[in-house]
Structure 1
Amino acid sequence: MAFGSRAAGKHRGSSRLSRKTAGYAGIAALATTGVVGTLAGPAFAADKAAAPSIEDTGLGAVVVAEDLQNEIHTQAESQHRAAEAAAAKAQAEAEAKTRAAEAKRLAEAKAKAERDAAERAAREEERKRLNTFVAPVDGSYVSTQYKAGGGMWSSGSHTGIDFHAASGTTVHAVGAGTVVEAGWGGAYGNNVVIKHNDGTYTQYGHMSSLSVSVGEQVTPGQQIGLSGSTGNSSGPHLHFEARTGATYGTDIDPVAYLRSHGVSV
Protein backbone atom coordinates (compact mmCIF):
# COMPACT_ATOMS: atom_id res chain seq x y z
CA MET A 1 0.00 0.00 0.00
CA ALA A 2 1.32 3.30 -0.89
CA PHE A 3 1.70 6.10 1.70
CA GLY A 4 2.55 9.63 0.82
CA SER A 5 5.76 9.51 2.81
CA ARG A 6 8.36 12.12 2.20
CA ALA A 7 11.61 11.14 0.69
CA ALA A 8 14.37 10.50 3.20
CA GLY A 9 16.57 13.54 3.97
CA LYS A 10 14.07 16.13 2.84
CA HIS A 11 12.33 18.30 5.43
CA ARG A 12 9.96 21.09 4.68
CA GLY A 13 10.71 24.31 6.57
CA SER A 14 8.31 26.09 8.89
CA SER A 15 5.59 27.81 7.13
CA ARG A 16 5.58 31.61 6.95
CA LEU A 17 2.45 31.74 9.09
CA SER A 18 4.05 29.70 11.89
CA ARG A 19 7.16 31.88 11.92
CA LYS A 20 5.18 35.09 12.05
CA THR A 21 3.06 33.80 14.92
CA ALA A 22 6.13 32.91 16.94
CA GLY A 23 7.63 36.30 16.19
CA TYR A 24 4.55 38.07 17.41
CA ALA A 25 4.54 36.11 20.65
CA GLY A 26 8.19 36.95 21.29
CA ILE A 27 7.63 40.65 20.70
CA ALA A 28 4.63 40.63 23.02
CA ALA A 29 6.68 38.97 25.75
CA LEU A 30 9.44 41.52 25.35
CA ALA A 31 6.94 44.40 25.38
CA THR A 32 5.37 43.06 28.60
CA THR A 33 8.72 43.01 30.41
CA GLY A 34 9.61 46.42 29.06
CA VAL A 35 12.58 45.10 27.07
CA VAL A 36 12.86 46.11 23.47
CA GLY A 37 15.87 44.75 21.62
CA THR A 38 17.11 42.58 18.77
CA LEU A 39 15.69 39.09 18.71
CA ALA A 40 18.52 36.61 18.06
CA GLY A 41 16.64 33.34 17.77
CA PRO A 42 17.28 31.34 14.57
CA ALA A 43 13.62 31.19 13.73
CA PHE A 44 13.40 35.00 13.77
CA ALA A 45 16.68 35.46 11.94
CA ALA A 46 15.48 33.15 9.17
CA ASP A 47 12.55 35.41 8.45
CA LYS A 48 13.68 38.74 9.88
CA ALA A 49 12.87 40.67 6.78
CA ALA A 50 9.32 39.39 6.74
CA ALA A 51 8.60 39.85 10.52
CA PRO A 52 6.27 42.75 11.31
CA SER A 53 7.51 45.69 13.46
CA ILE A 54 6.16 46.51 16.96
CA GLU A 55 4.20 49.32 15.40
CA ASP A 56 2.68 46.83 12.93
CA THR A 57 1.53 44.56 15.72
CA GLY A 58 -0.10 47.40 17.79
CA LEU A 59 2.14 46.70 20.81
CA GLY A 60 3.80 50.12 20.45
CA ALA A 61 0.39 51.74 20.74
CA VAL A 62 -0.13 49.88 24.00
CA VAL A 63 3.12 51.25 25.44
CA VAL A 64 2.28 54.77 24.27
CA ALA A 65 -1.20 54.46 25.72
CA GLU A 66 0.22 53.40 29.09
CA ASP A 67 2.67 56.31 29.08
CA LEU A 68 -0.12 58.70 28.19
CA GLN A 69 -2.31 57.28 30.93
CA ASN A 70 0.50 57.71 33.47
CA GLU A 71 1.06 61.27 32.31
CA ILE A 72 -2.66 62.05 32.57
CA HIS A 73 -2.78 60.50 36.03
CA THR A 74 0.25 62.54 37.12
CA GLN A 75 -1.29 65.74 35.76
CA ALA A 76 -4.59 64.93 37.45
CA GLU A 77 -2.85 64.41 40.78
CA SER A 78 -0.93 67.66 40.34
CA GLN A 79 -4.10 69.53 39.51
CA HIS A 80 -5.87 67.94 42.48
CA ARG A 81 -3.05 68.99 44.81
CA ALA A 82 -3.11 72.51 43.34
CA ALA A 83 -6.88 72.69 43.82
CA GLU A 84 -6.55 71.50 47.41
CA ALA A 85 -3.82 74.07 48.07
CA ALA A 86 -5.93 76.83 46.51
CA ALA A 87 -8.95 75.78 48.57
CA ALA A 88 -6.86 75.70 51.75
CA LYS A 89 -5.44 79.14 50.95
CA ALA A 90 -8.92 80.53 50.26
CA GLN A 91 -10.22 79.04 53.51
CA ALA A 92 -7.26 80.46 55.46
CA GLU A 93 -7.83 83.90 53.92
CA ALA A 94 -11.55 83.72 54.71
CA GLU A 95 -10.82 82.71 58.29
CA ALA A 96 -8.26 85.51 58.59
CA LYS A 97 -10.82 88.01 57.31
CA THR A 98 -13.38 86.67 59.77
CA ARG A 99 -10.91 86.98 62.64
CA ALA A 100 -9.95 90.49 61.53
CA ALA A 101 -13.60 91.52 61.27
CA GLU A 102 -14.33 90.09 64.73
CA ALA A 103 -11.27 91.82 66.19
CA LYS A 104 -12.38 95.10 64.61
CA ARG A 105 -15.90 94.65 65.96
CA LEU A 106 -14.60 93.93 69.44
CA ALA A 107 -12.23 96.91 69.29
CA GLU A 108 -15.05 99.19 68.14
CA ALA A 109 -17.35 97.85 70.84
CA LYS A 110 -14.64 98.39 73.46
CA ALA A 111 -13.95 101.92 72.21
CA LYS A 112 -17.68 102.71 72.25
CA ALA A 113 -18.02 101.31 75.76
CA GLU A 114 -15.08 103.42 76.89
CA ARG A 115 -16.55 106.52 75.24
CA ASP A 116 -19.93 105.85 76.82
CA ALA A 117 -18.31 105.32 80.21
CA ALA A 118 -16.32 108.53 79.81
CA GLU A 119 -19.44 110.44 78.78
CA ARG A 120 -21.38 109.05 81.74
CA ALA A 121 -18.55 109.96 84.08
CA ALA A 122 -18.40 113.46 82.59
CA ARG A 123 -22.15 113.90 82.93
CA GLU A 124 -22.04 112.66 86.49
CA GLU A 125 -19.14 114.96 87.26
CA GLU A 126 -21.01 117.88 85.71
CA ARG A 127 -24.16 116.98 87.64
CA LYS A 128 -22.21 116.87 90.86
CA ARG A 129 -20.49 120.13 90.03
CA LEU A 130 -23.76 121.86 89.23
CA ASN A 131 -25.33 120.52 92.42
CA THR A 132 -22.33 121.57 94.48
CA PHE A 133 -22.53 124.68 96.61
CA VAL A 134 -19.61 126.83 97.74
CA ALA A 135 -19.10 129.74 100.09
CA PRO A 136 -19.68 133.17 98.50
CA VAL A 137 -16.30 134.43 99.70
CA ASP A 138 -13.20 132.23 99.98
CA GLY A 139 -11.52 131.93 103.38
CA SER A 140 -13.92 134.34 105.09
CA TYR A 141 -16.17 134.15 108.14
CA VAL A 142 -19.55 135.46 109.28
CA SER A 143 -19.12 138.85 110.92
CA THR A 144 -22.81 139.56 111.54
CA GLN A 145 -25.33 136.77 112.24
CA TYR A 146 -28.80 136.26 110.82
CA LYS A 147 -31.59 138.10 112.71
CA ALA A 148 -29.14 140.29 114.62
CA GLY A 149 -31.03 143.33 115.99
CA GLY A 150 -30.26 146.98 115.53
CA GLY A 151 -31.36 150.28 114.08
CA MET A 152 -29.37 149.81 110.91
CA TRP A 153 -32.07 147.56 109.44
CA SER A 154 -35.49 148.85 108.53
CA SER A 155 -37.09 145.58 109.60
CA GLY A 156 -35.45 145.82 113.00
CA SER A 157 -33.26 142.77 112.42
CA HIS A 158 -30.68 141.48 110.00
CA THR A 159 -32.29 139.60 107.07
CA GLY A 160 -29.07 137.87 106.07
CA ILE A 161 -25.51 137.36 107.20
CA ASP A 162 -22.40 139.46 106.56
CA PHE A 163 -19.15 137.93 105.37
CA HIS A 164 -15.95 139.73 106.23
CA ALA A 165 -14.39 140.94 102.95
CA ALA A 166 -12.11 143.79 102.03
CA SER A 167 -13.22 145.98 99.13
CA GLY A 168 -12.50 144.32 95.80
CA THR A 169 -12.70 140.72 97.09
CA THR A 170 -14.09 138.24 94.57
CA VAL A 171 -17.70 137.22 95.21
CA HIS A 172 -18.85 133.80 93.93
CA ALA A 173 -22.25 132.39 93.03
CA VAL A 174 -22.85 129.77 95.72
CA GLY A 175 -24.54 127.39 93.26
CA ALA A 176 -25.71 126.93 89.69
CA GLY A 177 -28.65 129.03 88.56
CA THR A 178 -29.94 132.00 86.59
CA VAL A 179 -29.38 135.66 87.38
CA VAL A 180 -32.79 137.34 87.94
CA GLU A 181 -31.51 140.68 89.22
CA ALA A 182 -28.24 142.54 88.67
CA GLY A 183 -27.90 146.26 89.43
CA TRP A 184 -28.75 148.87 92.00
CA GLY A 185 -30.86 147.56 94.86
CA GLY A 186 -31.45 150.60 97.06
CA ALA A 187 -30.21 149.91 100.60
CA TYR A 188 -28.42 146.83 99.24
CA GLY A 189 -26.35 148.99 96.87
CA ASN A 190 -25.08 147.05 93.85
CA ASN A 191 -26.64 143.61 94.24
CA VAL A 192 -27.23 140.32 92.43
CA VAL A 193 -30.09 137.86 92.94
CA ILE A 194 -29.77 134.27 91.59
CA LYS A 195 -32.51 131.67 91.22
CA HIS A 196 -31.01 128.21 91.78
CA ASN A 197 -31.95 124.88 90.24
CA ASP A 198 -33.74 123.75 93.41
CA GLY A 199 -36.07 126.78 93.28
CA THR A 200 -34.38 128.76 96.04
CA TYR A 201 -32.77 132.20 95.68
CA THR A 202 -29.62 133.86 96.99
CA GLN A 203 -28.84 137.58 97.19
CA TYR A 204 -25.47 139.38 97.29
CA GLY A 205 -25.34 143.05 98.39
CA HIS A 206 -23.10 146.14 98.81
CA MET A 207 -20.79 145.09 95.96
CA SER A 208 -18.45 147.59 94.33
CA SER A 209 -18.91 146.10 90.83
CA LEU A 210 -20.90 143.37 89.07
CA SER A 211 -19.69 140.72 86.57
CA VAL A 212 -23.03 139.25 85.44
CA SER A 213 -26.29 140.39 83.91
CA VAL A 214 -29.94 139.36 84.11
CA GLY A 215 -30.71 136.08 82.33
CA GLU A 216 -27.15 134.77 82.53
CA GLN A 217 -26.55 131.18 83.58
CA VAL A 218 -23.99 130.84 86.36
CA THR A 219 -22.14 127.87 87.83
CA PRO A 220 -20.95 127.15 91.38
CA GLY A 221 -17.96 129.32 92.25
CA GLN A 222 -18.34 131.62 89.23
CA GLN A 223 -17.36 135.22 89.90
CA ILE A 224 -20.37 137.52 89.90
CA GLY A 225 -18.72 140.70 91.18
CA LEU A 226 -16.42 142.33 93.74
CA SER A 227 -17.24 143.18 97.34
CA GLY A 228 -17.57 146.81 98.47
CA SER A 229 -19.60 149.15 100.63
CA THR A 230 -22.34 150.55 98.37
CA GLY A 231 -25.87 151.25 99.64
CA ASN A 232 -26.69 151.25 103.36
CA SER A 233 -23.38 149.94 104.62
CA SER A 234 -21.05 150.70 107.52
CA GLY A 235 -17.96 149.43 105.69
CA PRO A 236 -16.71 146.90 103.11
CA HIS A 237 -18.30 143.46 103.47
CA LEU A 238 -20.65 141.10 101.60
CA HIS A 239 -24.29 140.93 102.63
CA PHE A 240 -25.63 137.45 101.77
CA GLU A 241 -29.25 136.27 101.92
CA ALA A 242 -31.02 132.96 101.22
CA ARG A 243 -34.65 133.31 100.10
CA THR A 244 -37.67 131.34 99.01
CA GLY A 245 -38.53 134.09 96.54
CA ALA A 246 -36.78 136.79 94.54
CA THR A 247 -37.85 139.75 96.64
CA TYR A 248 -37.19 141.22 100.03
CA GLY A 249 -39.09 139.60 102.92
CA THR A 250 -38.75 135.97 101.76
CA ASP A 251 -35.50 135.40 103.63
CA ILE A 252 -34.56 132.15 105.41
CA ASP A 253 -31.60 131.30 107.65
CA PRO A 254 -28.59 131.55 105.29
CA VAL A 255 -26.25 129.57 107.57
CA ALA A 256 -28.67 126.64 107.74
CA TYR A 257 -29.21 126.98 103.97
CA LEU A 258 -25.50 126.79 103.14
CA ARG A 259 -24.91 123.92 105.55
CA SER A 260 -27.81 121.96 104.04
CA HIS A 261 -25.98 122.21 100.73
CA GLY A 262 -22.69 120.97 102.15
CA VAL A 263 -20.98 124.32 102.77
CA SER A 264 -19.13 124.64 106.05
CA VAL A 265 -19.91 128.03 107.62
Structure 2
Amino acid sequence: MAFIRATGKHRRTSRPVKTGRNIAGIATLAAGGVVASVASPALAATDEARPHDTGLQQAVVLGDETASRVEAQADAQQADAEIAAARAKAEAVAKKQADEAKRRAEAAKKKAKAAHEAKVRAARDAERKRLNAFVAPISDSYVSTSYKASSGLWSSGSHTGIDFHAASGTSVHAVGSGTVVEAGWGGSYGNNIVIKMNDGTYTQYGHLSSLGVSVGQQVTPGQQIGLSGATGNVTGPHLHFEARTGADYGSDIDPVSYLRGHGVNV
Protein backbone atom coordinates (compact mmCIF):
# COMPACT_ATOMS: atom_id res chain seq x y z
CA MET A 1 0.00 0.00 0.00
CA ALA A 2 1.48 3.22 -1.06
CA PHE A 3 1.31 6.39 0.96
CA ILE A 4 0.76 9.63 -0.90
CA ARG A 5 1.86 12.81 0.80
CA ALA A 6 -0.44 15.80 0.45
CA THR A 7 1.02 18.88 -1.28
CA GLY A 8 -0.14 22.48 -1.32
CA LYS A 9 0.49 25.92 0.00
CA HIS A 10 1.27 24.68 3.48
CA ARG A 11 4.31 22.72 2.33
CA ARG A 12 7.50 24.38 3.45
CA THR A 13 10.81 24.39 1.63
CA SER A 14 13.41 22.39 3.40
CA ARG A 15 15.64 24.32 5.73
CA PRO A 16 18.97 23.61 3.90
CA VAL A 17 17.67 25.07 0.65
CA LYS A 18 16.61 28.33 2.31
CA THR A 19 19.91 28.60 4.08
CA GLY A 20 21.90 28.24 0.90
CA ARG A 21 19.76 30.81 -0.88
CA ASN A 22 20.12 33.35 1.92
CA ILE A 23 23.88 32.94 2.07
CA ALA A 24 24.10 33.37 -1.69
CA GLY A 25 22.11 36.62 -1.44
CA ILE A 26 24.27 37.93 1.34
CA ALA A 27 27.43 37.15 -0.59
CA THR A 28 26.05 39.00 -3.59
CA LEU A 29 25.25 42.07 -1.49
CA ALA A 30 28.68 42.04 0.18
CA ALA A 31 30.51 41.61 -3.13
CA GLY A 32 28.67 44.56 -4.60
CA GLY A 33 29.47 46.79 -1.63
CA VAL A 34 25.78 47.31 -0.89
CA VAL A 35 24.79 47.70 2.77
CA ALA A 36 21.25 46.41 3.47
CA SER A 37 19.14 44.69 6.09
CA VAL A 38 16.66 42.68 4.07
CA ALA A 39 15.13 39.37 5.13
CA SER A 40 14.06 36.82 2.55
CA PRO A 41 10.29 36.51 1.96
CA ALA A 42 10.35 32.99 3.31
CA LEU A 43 11.80 34.09 6.59
CA ALA A 44 9.42 37.06 6.87
CA ALA A 45 6.37 34.84 6.42
CA THR A 46 6.96 32.67 9.46
CA ASP A 47 6.97 33.27 13.18
CA GLU A 48 9.57 30.62 13.86
CA ALA A 49 12.91 31.53 15.38
CA ARG A 50 15.33 32.65 12.64
CA PRO A 51 18.80 31.54 13.59
CA HIS A 52 20.16 32.66 10.22
CA ASP A 53 19.47 36.39 10.95
CA THR A 54 22.76 36.57 12.83
CA GLY A 55 24.68 35.45 9.77
CA LEU A 56 23.04 38.18 7.66
CA GLN A 57 23.91 40.88 10.18
CA GLN A 58 27.51 39.68 10.33
CA ALA A 59 27.77 39.75 6.55
CA VAL A 60 26.39 43.30 6.43
CA VAL A 61 28.88 44.46 9.09
CA LEU A 62 31.70 42.83 7.19
CA GLY A 63 30.55 44.63 4.07
CA ASP A 64 30.60 47.97 5.90
CA GLU A 65 34.09 47.35 7.18
CA THR A 66 35.33 46.31 3.74
CA ALA A 67 33.78 49.37 2.13
CA SER A 68 35.33 51.62 4.78
CA ARG A 69 38.75 50.07 4.27
CA VAL A 70 38.48 50.40 0.50
CA GLU A 71 37.35 54.01 0.84
CA ALA A 72 40.17 54.80 3.29
CA GLN A 73 42.68 53.15 0.99
CA ALA A 74 41.35 55.15 -1.97
CA ASP A 75 41.56 58.37 0.05
CA ALA A 76 45.13 57.57 1.06
CA GLN A 77 46.10 56.85 -2.53
CA GLN A 78 44.49 60.06 -3.69
CA ALA A 79 46.33 62.01 -0.97
CA ASP A 80 49.64 60.37 -1.96
CA ALA A 81 48.97 61.22 -5.60
CA GLU A 82 48.21 64.84 -4.74
CA ILE A 83 51.35 65.10 -2.58
CA ALA A 84 53.45 63.57 -5.37
CA ALA A 85 51.93 65.96 -7.92
CA ALA A 86 52.54 68.95 -5.64
CA ARG A 87 56.14 67.82 -5.04
CA ALA A 88 56.74 67.35 -8.76
CA LYS A 89 55.30 70.80 -9.47
CA ALA A 90 57.43 72.39 -6.75
CA GLU A 91 60.54 70.64 -8.08
CA ALA A 92 59.74 71.80 -11.61
CA VAL A 93 59.29 75.40 -10.40
CA ALA A 94 62.52 75.22 -8.38
CA LYS A 95 64.43 73.82 -11.36
CA LYS A 96 63.06 76.53 -13.63
CA GLN A 97 64.06 79.19 -11.11
CA ALA A 98 67.50 77.66 -10.70
CA ASP A 99 67.98 77.50 -14.48
CA GLU A 100 66.89 81.12 -14.82
CA ALA A 101 69.22 82.19 -12.00
CA LYS A 102 72.08 80.29 -13.63
CA ARG A 103 71.31 81.90 -16.99
CA ARG A 104 71.27 85.36 -15.43
CA ALA A 105 74.52 84.65 -13.57
CA GLU A 106 76.22 83.46 -16.77
CA ALA A 107 74.94 86.50 -18.66
CA ALA A 108 76.20 88.81 -15.91
CA LYS A 109 79.55 87.01 -15.90
CA LYS A 110 79.88 87.38 -19.67
CA LYS A 111 78.92 91.03 -19.45
CA ALA A 112 81.44 91.66 -16.68
CA LYS A 113 84.13 89.82 -18.63
CA ALA A 114 83.37 91.81 -21.77
CA ALA A 115 83.44 95.07 -19.78
CA HIS A 116 86.77 94.09 -18.19
CA GLU A 117 88.27 93.16 -21.55
CA ALA A 118 87.04 96.43 -23.04
CA LYS A 119 88.56 98.32 -20.11
CA VAL A 120 91.87 96.49 -20.51
CA ARG A 121 91.89 97.20 -24.25
CA ALA A 122 91.09 100.86 -23.66
CA ALA A 123 93.87 101.17 -21.08
CA ARG A 124 96.31 99.36 -23.37
CA ASP A 125 95.36 101.57 -26.31
CA ALA A 126 95.68 104.68 -24.17
CA GLU A 127 99.11 103.59 -22.95
CA ARG A 128 100.21 102.76 -26.48
CA LYS A 129 98.96 106.13 -27.64
CA ARG A 130 100.76 107.86 -24.80
CA LEU A 131 104.02 106.07 -25.50
CA ASN A 132 103.79 106.89 -29.18
CA ALA A 133 102.93 110.51 -28.56
CA PHE A 134 105.38 113.40 -28.69
CA VAL A 135 105.49 116.56 -26.59
CA ALA A 136 107.50 119.76 -26.58
CA PRO A 137 110.75 119.61 -24.55
CA ILE A 138 109.78 122.82 -22.68
CA SER A 139 106.16 123.46 -21.73
CA ASP A 140 104.59 126.83 -22.59
CA SER A 141 107.67 128.10 -24.36
CA TYR A 142 108.70 129.24 -27.84
CA VAL A 143 111.59 128.97 -30.26
CA SER A 144 114.01 131.84 -29.61
CA THR A 145 116.63 130.80 -32.19
CA SER A 146 115.70 128.97 -35.36
CA TYR A 147 117.32 126.05 -37.13
CA LYS A 148 120.27 126.89 -39.41
CA ALA A 149 120.52 130.44 -38.13
CA SER A 150 123.93 131.96 -38.98
CA SER A 151 126.30 133.22 -36.32
CA GLY A 152 129.94 133.12 -35.34
CA LEU A 153 128.86 131.58 -32.04
CA TRP A 154 128.73 128.14 -33.66
CA SER A 155 131.77 126.37 -35.00
CA SER A 156 129.87 125.09 -38.02
CA GLY A 157 128.75 128.62 -38.84
CA SER A 158 125.04 127.79 -38.47
CA HIS A 159 122.71 126.59 -35.77
CA THR A 160 122.35 122.80 -35.81
CA GLY A 161 119.22 122.84 -33.65
CA ILE A 162 116.70 125.24 -32.16
CA ASP A 163 116.73 127.12 -28.87
CA PHE A 164 113.72 127.19 -26.56
CA HIS A 165 113.34 130.16 -24.29
CA ALA A 166 113.71 128.95 -20.68
CA ALA A 167 114.95 130.41 -17.44
CA SER A 168 117.57 128.43 -15.58
CA GLY A 169 116.06 125.51 -13.64
CA THR A 170 113.06 125.00 -15.96
CA SER A 171 111.92 121.38 -16.31
CA VAL A 172 113.10 119.69 -19.52
CA HIS A 173 111.11 116.71 -20.86
CA ALA A 174 111.84 113.84 -23.17
CA VAL A 175 109.87 114.54 -26.35
CA GLY A 176 109.00 110.87 -26.83
CA SER A 177 109.77 107.30 -25.79
CA GLY A 178 113.33 106.08 -26.07
CA THR A 179 116.59 105.07 -24.37
CA VAL A 180 119.24 107.41 -23.01
CA VAL A 181 122.52 106.87 -24.87
CA GLU A 182 124.45 109.87 -23.50
CA ALA A 183 124.13 111.83 -20.26
CA GLY A 184 127.01 114.11 -19.17
CA TRP A 185 129.37 116.79 -20.37
CA GLY A 186 129.23 117.47 -24.10
CA GLY A 187 131.83 120.20 -24.71
CA SER A 188 130.19 123.28 -26.21
CA TYR A 189 126.81 121.71 -25.46
CA GLY A 190 127.63 121.80 -21.75
CA ASN A 191 125.66 119.22 -19.74
CA ASN A 192 123.67 117.34 -22.36
CA ILE A 193 121.46 114.29 -22.87
CA VAL A 194 121.06 112.26 -26.07
CA ILE A 195 118.10 109.86 -26.44
CA LYS A 196 117.66 107.22 -29.10
CA MET A 197 113.95 107.37 -29.88
CA ASN A 198 111.85 104.26 -30.47
CA ASP A 199 111.47 105.20 -34.14
CA GLY A 200 115.27 105.09 -34.57
CA THR A 201 115.90 108.84 -34.59
CA TYR A 202 117.86 110.74 -31.93
CA THR A 203 117.12 113.85 -29.86
CA GLN A 204 119.61 116.02 -27.96
CA TYR A 205 119.07 118.41 -25.02
CA GLY A 206 121.96 120.83 -24.29
CA HIS A 207 123.16 123.48 -21.80
CA LEU A 208 121.41 121.79 -18.85
CA SER A 209 122.04 122.90 -15.30
CA SER A 210 121.42 119.38 -14.00
CA LEU A 211 120.78 115.86 -15.32
CA GLY A 212 117.96 113.61 -14.13
CA VAL A 213 118.64 110.40 -16.11
CA SER A 214 121.52 108.06 -16.84
CA VAL A 215 122.72 106.07 -19.83
CA GLY A 216 120.60 103.00 -20.55
CA GLN A 217 117.48 104.39 -18.86
CA GLN A 218 114.13 104.11 -20.62
CA VAL A 219 112.15 107.34 -20.85
CA THR A 220 108.59 108.15 -21.86
CA PRO A 221 106.95 111.23 -23.43
CA GLY A 222 106.83 114.18 -21.04
CA GLN A 223 109.15 112.57 -18.49
CA GLN A 224 111.47 115.09 -16.81
CA ILE A 225 115.07 114.35 -17.73
CA GLY A 226 116.82 117.46 -16.38
CA LEU A 227 116.71 121.20 -15.79
CA SER A 228 117.60 123.94 -18.24
CA GLY A 229 120.65 126.13 -17.64
CA ALA A 230 123.56 127.95 -19.24
CA THR A 231 126.40 125.40 -19.29
CA GLY A 232 128.76 125.17 -22.30
CA ASN A 233 129.05 127.72 -25.10
CA VAL A 234 126.10 130.06 -24.38
CA THR A 235 125.23 133.72 -23.85
CA GLY A 236 122.40 132.98 -21.43
CA PRO A 237 120.15 130.24 -20.07
CA HIS A 238 117.99 128.35 -22.59
CA LEU A 239 117.46 124.82 -23.92
CA HIS A 240 119.27 123.75 -27.08
CA PHE A 241 117.26 120.98 -28.80
CA GLU A 242 118.40 118.91 -31.79
CA ALA A 243 116.85 116.11 -33.86
CA ARG A 244 119.22 113.72 -35.65
CA THR A 245 119.14 110.68 -37.90
CA GLY A 246 122.15 109.27 -36.03
CA ALA A 247 123.94 109.60 -32.72
CA ASP A 248 126.87 111.65 -34.05
CA TYR A 249 127.24 115.36 -34.65
CA GLY A 250 126.44 116.41 -38.20
CA SER A 251 123.38 114.15 -38.72
CA ASP A 252 120.98 116.87 -37.65
CA ILE A 253 117.57 117.46 -39.24
CA ASP A 254 115.07 120.31 -38.87
CA PRO A 255 113.77 120.01 -35.27
CA VAL A 256 110.62 122.04 -35.97
CA SER A 257 109.60 119.79 -38.88
CA TYR A 258 110.51 116.76 -36.75
CA LEU A 259 108.29 117.82 -33.84
CA ARG A 260 105.44 118.95 -36.06
CA GLY A 261 105.65 115.67 -37.94
CA HIS A 262 104.94 113.98 -34.59
CA GLY A 263 102.00 116.23 -33.76
CA VAL A 264 103.76 118.83 -31.62
CA ASN A 265 102.75 122.43 -32.29
CA VAL A 266 105.87 124.63 -32.19
TM-score under structure 1 length normalisation? 0.86
Is 1:140 matched up with 2:132? no
Partner of 1:84: 85
Offset of 1:176 from its aligned partner? 1.2
**How far, CA to CA, are the matches of 1:178 and 1:75 in structure 2?**
90
Offset of 1:70 from its aligned partner? 2.5
**How far, CA to CA, are the matches of 2:235 and 2:51 in structure 1?**
153
**How far, CA to CA, are the matches of 2:17 and 2:126 in structure 1?**
116
Gap change, CA 1:180 and 1:36, over 3 Å in 2: farther
Is 1:193 matched up with 2:198? no
**How far, CA to CA, are the matches of 2:40 and 2:29 in structure 1?**
9
Mean CA deviation greater in 14-23 or 125-134: 14-23
> Deviation digits for residues 92-123 of structure 1, max 9, x if unmatched?
22222222221111111111110111111111
In structure 2, give the amino acid aligned to 1:16: R
* Counterpart secondary structure, 1:241: strand
* Counterpart secondary structure, 1:163: strand
Count of equivalent residues: 262
* Counterpart secondary structure, 1:154: coil
Paired residues for 1:122-137 under 5 Å: 122-137=123-138
Partner of 1:94: 95
TM-score under structure 2 length normalisation? 0.86
Partner of 1:249: 250
**How far, CA to CA, are the matches of 2:193 and 2:26 in structure 1?**
128
Gap change, CA 1:65 and 1:148, over 3 Å in 2: same
Paired residues for 1:93-112 under 5 Å: 93-112=94-113
* Counterpart secondary structure, 2:153: coil
> Deviation digits for residues 57-106 of structure 1, max 9, x if unmatched?
x4544443333222222222222222222222222222222222211111
**How far, CA to CA, are the matches of 2:93 and 2:51 in structure 1?**
66
The answer on whether the counterparts of 1:19 and 1:44 sit within 8 Å (CA) in structure 2 is no
Give me the CA root mean square deviation.
3.0
**How far, CA to CA, are the matches of 1:45 and 1:160 in structure 2?**
151
Offset of 1:22 from its aligned partner? 6.9
Offset of 1:3 from its aligned partner? 7.4
The answer on whether the counterparts of 2:35 and 2:63 sit within 8 Å (CA) in structure 1 is no
**How far, CA to CA, are the matches of 2:45 and 2:23 in structure 1?**
12
The answer on whether the counterparts of 2:34 and 2:63 sit within 8 Å (CA) in structure 1 is no
* Counterpart secondary structure, 1:166: coil
Mean CA deviation greater in 242-251 or 228-237: 242-251
In structure 2, give the amino acid aligned to 1:189: G
Gap change, CA 1:142 and 1:28, over 3 Å in 2: same
Partner of 1:179: 180
In structure 2, give the amino acid aligned to 1:65: T
* Counterpart secondary structure, 1:208: strand
In structure 1, give the amino acid aligned to 2:244: R
Partner of 1:158: 159
In structure 1, give the amino acid aligned to 2:157: G
The answer on whether the counterparts of 1:167 and 1:208 sit within 8 Å (CA) in structure 2 is yes
Gap change, CA 1:78 and 1:151, over 3 Å in 2: same
Identity of aligned residues (%): 55
Paired residues for 1:6-45 under 5 Å: 15-17=14-16, 20=19, 24=23, 33-36=34-37, 42-43=44-45
In structure 1, give the amino acid aligned to 2:200: G
Gaps of 5+ in 2: none
Paired residues for 1:54-93 under 5 Å: 54=56, 58-93=59-94
**How far, CA to CA, are the matches of 2:99 and 2:184 in structure 1?**
68
**How far, CA to CA, are the matches of 2:177 and 2:136 in structure 1?**
13
* Counterpart secondary structure, 1:102: helix
The answer on whether the counterparts of 2:181 and 2:194 sit within 8 Å (CA) in structure 1 is yes
Mean CA deviation greater in 158-167 or 83-92: 83-92
Is 1:170 matched up with 2:171? yes
The answer on whether the counterparts of 1:195 and 1:202 sit within 8 Å (CA) in structure 2 is yes
